[in-house]
Structure 1
């Protein structure tokens, strides 16, 4: 069974949201955290309070060479890291037609390619030390879709496929994976959405409604960030851990609807699928 997280956790994107919540909770438990931030000084308060137990490095996960360097230095300086948590990411809101090429490339580079490269950089270290855990923060949008989120969903469905696939190749090395699918949680995610330049043709449709919804400032997330962070961290001590972890009643409801409909459609095609066999 894996030892508790106190041997060390590596978390990307710890400046705010779930990343900061998980960092605070681990430090409060007396454990060590290697965290990445985009802006210097973002966690000065925690660094002052916890000293050497909080190791920080600036990192843009779209810089693959920097990812490898930071991950390597974190393992070298902490000695052992049992849990790698891929948390860094953001969302773009807008119709597919509205998005710029640069926005598309940046979304994929951050949420998908960046997450893949963090995992790839960590695998040799986890393998050499005899095992560990990889926790990938996804979203209920990794199983269910909403208007205006096509590129965000693309990045999350992609990373979920990657993580689910590598679990098979990592299992012989005692490396387990968990995909976390939170619902709307009390972080700054909604206010930090990148919003595409709107086209009038979408103003009165589902995308326009989604844009107005997130821009209203009146929506209150049902999920509690501290509780969500605690549940995520608890999976690090489970043996075996869940492959997927849903947090939030809205996540459960949205994914249940999506999966039920998907399964029903598949069942309706059973005979048709068999009819194409040789």
Structure 2
């Protein structure tokens, strides 16, 4: 059965890969970009099924209008994919106010608004699926990536709560947690702060962002295919980890966290009123 998808940030990375595969399969995609240059070929090839829109997800009023207009135009939208976002590298002291505010507005606030605005429409039409592109960085934190982690840890908590709120309306929510992949996230769109020599020992990420030092293991086309296939699973998987390194790092960190919590049994119970 053909579906209609709303996907933010389709000019590159997972958004582009998903859009390309979906259009090839005959689905309809309402895809957002900040400029159309990188998707001109798709616009030409799929004039009916690719509804390309200009949207800056940091503009809240524009998100409200875009979501309402999209549901009005297409009547029913089966899947919402909150994909727009980017990485910001630098230690906390190295980041400027503008850099902090912008990544929160893009990765966190923009995603929250897109999902919230979609809920009324999905509920009215009797259900649907929400996919939030997160990262294994929503579970595992590394130095010099604090604000990216802040946005991903934040959107994970938001979506986990929303999933419980809207399950009664046949709306499923899935958090996708990819590991390193060969997309523009690393090799093009990532932002780097004004680095300080005092934090030089935390700047190992520079090698990760340099393609000449070795490429990430993840295949974005394979990842996009699995994300697409996930919408046919019932119930919706709350989390999908993509990449063996990402899964190992996540499990290791969670086990470490649980072990630490278990040492606090006596401390925690000491504050109870008996």
> Per-residue deviation at 1:29?
1.0
The answer for the alignment partner of 1:219 in structure 2 is 214
Residue 175 in structure 1 maps to residue 171 in structure 2: yes
The answer for the alignment partner of 1:95 in structure 2 is 91
> Per-residue deviation at 1:185?
0.9
Deviations 1:188-207 (A, max 9, x none): 1112210011111112x1x2
Secondary structure in structure 1 of the residue aligned to 2:205: helix
Separation (CA, whole Å) in 2 of partners of 1:106 and 1:217:
29
Find runs of 4+ consecutive structure 1 residues off by over 4 angstroms: none
Residue 201 in structure 1 maps to residue 198 in structure 2: yes
CA shift in 2, pair 1:272/1:220, >3 Å: same
Separation (CA, whole Å) in 2 of partners of 1:60 and 1:140:
25
CA contact (8 A) 2:207 2:213 kept: no
TM-score scaled to structure 2, two decimals? 0.96
Residue 42 in structure 1 maps to residue 38 in structure 2: yes
Separation (CA, whole Å) in 1 of partners of 2:253 and 2:214:
23
Deviations 1:126-147 (A, max 9, x none): 0110000100000010000111
> Per-residue deviation at 1:71?
1.3
TM-score scaled to structure 1, two decimals? 0.95
> Per-residue deviation at 1:7?
2.7
Deviations 1:164-210 (A, max 9, x none): 0111211111111000000001111112210011111112x1x2222
Gaps of 5+ in 2: none
CA contact (8 A) 1:62 1:110 kept: yes
For residue 253 of structure 1, the aligned residue among 236, 248, 251 is 248
Aligned residues: 272
The answer for the alignment partner of 1:58 in structure 2 is 54
Separation (CA, whole Å) in 2 of partners of 1:186 and 1:31:
25
> Per-residue deviation at 1:78?
1.6
CA contact (8 A) 1:33 1:55 kept: yes
CA contact (8 A) 2:88 2:145 kept: yes
Secondary structure in structure 2 of the residue aligned to 1:52: coil
The answer for the alignment partner of 1:153 in structure 2 is 149
The equivalences for 1:1-278 within 5 A come to: 4=1, 6-191=2-187, 192-203=189-200, 205=201, 207-215=202-210, 217-278=212-273
Gaps of 5+ in 1: none
Separation (CA, whole Å) in 2 of partners of 1:43 and 1:212:
30
Separation (CA, whole Å) in 2 of partners of 1:115 and 1:213:
26
> Per-residue deviation at 1:212?
4.0
CA contact (8 A) 2:186 2:208 kept: no
> Per-residue deviation at 1:49?
1.1
